[in-house]
Amino acid sequence: MQTVGRFAPSPSGRIHLGNILCSLLAWLSARQKGGQVILRIEDLDTARCPRRYAQQMEEDLRWLGLDWDMGPGTNGPHESYYQSERTELYQMAREKLEEMGLVYPCFCTRGELHAASAPHRSDGQVLYAGTCRNLTAEEIAEKVKTRSPALRLRVPEETWGFTDGHMGDYAENLARDCGDFLLRRSDGMFAYQLAVVVDDAAMGVTEVVRGADLLDSTPRQLYLYHLLDLNPPSFYHVPLLLASDGRRLSKRDADAGLDDLRPRCRAEEILGKLAYLAGFNPSAEPRSAERLLSDFDWEKVPKKDIRMPSRLF
Ligand code: GLU
């Protein structure tokens, strides 16, 4: 089976070094197997992800030499490659889950969800308390008059696990560790968890390479693959790149963004240094993505988050 990898950035700002490292790893992992690469733009939140940011991201990825076979500008078979234009597919998946009786409307406000009494996961995230799980048809009819609901998926007391290609075994109990999760927000926006599963399956993706912050989303996604009768890809979760003080990089870190770096660095310098930090460039010498292929090996990539030195460029 031919490998189909992908990068799936959310264009809520200019691409930063963390996104670049992740895209580089996805590109190398697929290309090394002679596979194809898809670029999918995860712009479900159209207010935060205007098209001009997506276009800038596409341009930056091209400049970096991280090319794609299917995606914006390629006339690939899966038009569109922008999630904001694929809502019909998400709607179909939603209907299928509804027919299975697994979806219910949730009227909880942000305040209610984040109340101090709400149960929490071990990582501090709020676990849905199940407040709207068993509303009667009358209660729903009454509530709908004043508030449009979000939609949640009812999850069972089941443990879903997998072997990550990089991080090893990982499992969560859906009810205890995840809780009933959102499929659609109250403003009608489909949730990442649903969209990513529908798209990766529809686009024939066979391997997903993405940040370790999404490791704990994977059991939920595997459950969706199962319910929707779709084949899951293999997963590789990659360490996050941290700022020199240990904070997670964000699009606000000017020194880690291409706004600052592109005018004064070559693409090969950026990729060479990132690959060095990630263990598969023997020195910090500039190297193109193509030239990194020969040394790339998942075994060399650390499992722990990578802290950047203070003066990298
Ligand atoms: N759009 C997500 C991000 O930019 C990545 C989602 C994924 O790779 O599954 O973090």
Pocket test for ligand 1, best of 12, 15, 38, 42 (most atoms within 8 A of CB): 42
Predicted confidence (pLDDT) per residue in 29-47, tens digit: 999 999 999 999 999 999 9
pTM: 0.96
What pLDDT shows up at residue 312?
A: 84
Distances (CA, A) of 235 to 6, 21, 161, 164, 170: 11, 16, 12, 5, 11
Assess whether the C-beta atom of 26 lies below 6 angstroms from ligand 1: no
Tell me the best of 164, 210, 235, 248 to mutate to test the pocket of ligand 1, counting ligand atoms within 8 Å of each CB and taking the most.
Answer: 210
pLDDT in tens, 107-140: 999 888 888 777 887 777 789 999 999 999 999 9
List domains and CATH numbers for the chain.
Answer: 4-87+196-307 (3.40.50.620), 101-194 (3.90.800.10)
pLDDT digits (tens, 9 = 90+) for 208-230: 999 999 999 999 999 999 999 99
Q: What is the chain's mean pLDDT, rounded?
A: 95
Cα of 5 from ligand 1 centre, angstroms: 13
Q: How confident is the model at residue 191 (pLDDT cuts 50, 70, 90)?
A: very high
Q: Assess whether the previous peptide bond of 148 is cis (omega < 30° from 0).
A: no
Q: What is the mean pLDDT of residues 256-275?
A: 93
**Alpha helices in 114-169, H assignment, sequence order:** 137-143
Strands 103-106, 36-39: pairing is: unpaired
41: nearest Cα among 73, 63, 2, 4: 73
Class of residue 125 by CB neighbours under 10 A (exposed 0-12, middle 13-18, buried 19+):
exposed
Pick left, alpha or beta for residue 124 (phi over 0 → left; psi -120 to 50 → alpha; otherwise beta).
Answer: left
